[in-house]
Structure 1
Amino acid sequence: MRLDMLFIRCFQERITKTFLVAPSTLFEYYSLDYRVLRRFAKHNSTGEIIPEELVMQGARKMFAATDLQRQNFYAAVGQTFFGEQPTPPTSIIVADLKREYTSWKHVEGTHWHTRYNHLVNYGAGYYSYLYAKCFAATIWLKLCEEDPLSLATGSALRLKLLQYGGAKEAADLLNGLVGGGGGGDGGIIVRDCDGGGKVPHTTCLCTEMNTLRNQLMNVV
């Protein structure tokens, strides 16, 4: 086995699944921020920097709601299949969930879920992508958005979040990164759930979605 793959496997086996994709989801914000993009996104022959207006009309804004619907749908499929043993045919379950969680229709005679490999390696844990969206939105808004390339921001991400891997509780890492930042949620990312467990605060993600909606309406 390649050494880098060995380290990746060790990291994945030590860390909670709900936190696993949070860093990569956060870095998607960097890849779509013009302050970052302009440093490397240049025309291959002229060297011209990518126009800012091209970035502002990108797919992230155009299809943010559709993507969130799809993620909810995927999570619901996993939760249903790996919850109480379902009795109807799986194709009927998928069709019903698609109608419930998305705004597009199920195509009769199709069996999309038979090639949905996340059912194998994620089981009922696909909701972790939704958790990661909430984590990343909160970190970006409270820590990174003002100056994502600052030394203070990068150091905080490295020293308070990334360097521990699975050696500390994910909730402690996340809350320690932006905790005390004020606001109605007290500046935390993860809160205790009634009856046990932990859930992310959704305030920042909801704020982001509303902002994207307003920007899209202005473009149209």
Structure 2
Amino acid sequence: MAKYNRVLLKLSGEALMGKMGYGIDPEVVRDIAGQIKRVASQGVQVAVVLGGGNIWRGLSAASHGMDRAVADYMGMLATVLNSLALQDALEKMDCETRVMTAIEMPQVAEPYIRRRAIRHMEKGRVVILAAGTGNPYFSTDTAAALRALELHAEVILFAKNNVDGVYSSDPNVYPDAVKYDEITFKEAIQLGLKVIDGPALALCQENSLPVLVFGIQEPDSIVRVISGDKLGTVVS
């Protein structure tokens, strides 16, 4: 039995590359698609926002001298590549899917229109939201928070590739880092915890939208968090 009726799942681009170090691992994409199909088949309405860090990082390119806006637009295009890969995997499993982009490219996807996205979800289609907000200087975390609010999602599920929740410090660097099961937005901000991008966290706090941060590498983690299993960290 699913805990939620409508969710927004935020997947980092790195989640798609598995152990490859770069690009898209088809086996990983198939596993993620299989989990999404399972929850969609339970009647859960699912929207997905994908990052593009497995292909391109706009902020990193900007730090090496590229114009920030150009670098960010390239990052948005990387999210479209990831979205099409996930759509293909879902449709091969007979899971009806729509990719909607913040930057119009009608040959490959529908333009993002809020009411149309909601209608797709009400009809049981998985909606993949690509190209971030369509604006430079905004992360895909912020895009996920914005879209979740627009689509009236009950929670944002942030699937992380290198951690399984929110910690007092980076557990990959500090072995004594403490994991939080639950934490408030105020505590996360005061402690300077790297939960999600700052503007995204502020947007969720202002609108009382709960966030659940969990590790994508745990078996069936997407299915389990939507079913209500206690994985990761709840920020509310």
**TM class, shorter-length:** under 0.3
More strand by share: 2
Larger radius of gyration: 1
Judging by fraction of residues, say which structure has more helix.
1
Query: TM-score normalized by structure 1?
Result: 0.28
